[in-house]
Amino acid sequence: MGQQLIEYFPLNTLMLINGSFPMPVMITKKQFNAHHEKTTPTIQLKKKIRKFYHKRHFLFKKFDEGIVLDEESWYSVVPEEVASYVAERLHKRIIDQKIPIKQVIDGFCGSGGLAIQLASKFDNLLCIDLDPVKLQNLQANAAIYQRTIETQLNNFLMIEHEFDENIILTLCPPWGGLNYFKKEVYDLEKDMTPCLSDILKKAFSISCNIVLQLPKNVSISQLTTLIQQQSQHLNFKRYSLEIEMIYINDQINSQVQL
């Protein structure tokens, strides 16, 4: 494998070649600004979580209206401004390309950061999670935003669904806790559970339209290799990859693959 591209690189377009097929990869960057409100938490939180309380209104603008988060959701939920941007971009692309979308499936919905914003753009949204607490959180939080969302308690890898190119999958799989960023390169096979190849295998059995949220320190070469390996049944001539680097307060936070 050639030189790994990780974390820091300028806005550009590359052509990565893994094996015999060249995959066009567009890399873009989006900046968000989060305001921290250093106030004493009014709810009981573990020490390692308290810093996230300071950006609670960045996570949910309506936090004070009764937003509910379990411990893991404090550091894993997609912030509202980021989620709104992803949902809007996805919706605009569908309109521009005149894609007849039947359904959007959020395969790792958690407490609803992204799902609530998707529900503002798409009527037929199904949210899946294997944690009943997170689904309860999602329903409570969706009600605050006056959204009605269909949920399913299930493991994304176990759902049964026929392939349909008019379905969009949004996938924010767990990264393994707060220590993921301590690794120089986050291994999408060894450090992620379930591993990305298993997620992609299931995803590509459902649709070729996939949005992934991944850690900032993944190897782009590993990512493209895994995508090619798991999508061999697709028409590669029509297949491309867009990676958007999400920056919060001038620091890279995550990667969204479209």
User: CATH code at 188?
Assistant: 3.40.50.150
Asked whether the beta carbons of 212 and 257 are under 8 A apart, the reply is yes
Give the residue from 258, 76, 254, 242 showing the smallest Cα distance to 168.
Answer: 258
Answer whether residue 131 is part of any domain.
Answer: yes
The sign one gets for the Cα dihedral 89, 153, 57, 37 is negative
What order do you get walking across the sheet with 103-106 strand by strand?
A: 12-18, 21-32, 241-248, 251-257, 209-215, 167-171, 103-106, 125-129, 150-153
Residue 16: per-residue pLDDT? 41
Asked whether the beta carbons of 87 and 112 are under 8 A apart, the reply is no
Residue 7: per-residue pLDDT? 36
The number of C-alpha atoms within 13 Å of 194 and in the hemisphere containing its C-beta is 17
Residue 10: per-residue pLDDT? 35
Answer whether residue 45 is part of any domain.
Answer: yes
Answer whether residue 22 is part of any domain.
Answer: yes
Residue 99: per-residue pLDDT? 80
CA distance 59 to 79: 4
Answer whether residue 112 is part of any domain.
Answer: yes
Residue 5: per-residue pLDDT? 37
Answer whether residue 5 is part of any domain.
Answer: no
Residue 246: per-residue pLDDT? 85
Residue 132: per-residue pLDDT? 98
Alpha carbon distances (Å) from 202 to 24, 52, 107, 167, 215? 23, 32, 11, 13, 20
Enclosing domain of residue 162: 11-248
Answer whether residue 258 is part of any domain.
Answer: no
Residue 100: per-residue pLDDT? 87
Residue 3: per-residue pLDDT? 37
Answer whether residue 186 is part of any domain.
Answer: yes
pLDDT in tens, the chain (258 residues): 333 333 333 333 343 433 444 567 778 888 888 777 777 777 778 888 888 898 899 999 999 999 999 999 999 999 999 999 999 999 998 888 888 889 999 999 999 999 999 999 999 999 999 999 999 999 999 999 999 999 999 999 999 999 998 999 999 999 988 888 788 889 999 999 999 999 999 998 998 889 999 988 888 888 888 888 887 766 544 467 788 888 888 666 655 555
Please name every residue paired with 12 in a beta bridge, in sequence order, or none if there are none. Answer: 27
Residue 13: per-residue pLDDT? 37
How many domains does the chain divide into? 1
Residue 181: per-residue pLDDT? 77
Residue 233: per-residue pLDDT? 65
Answer whether residue 1 is part of any domain.
Answer: no
Residue 252: per-residue pLDDT? 64
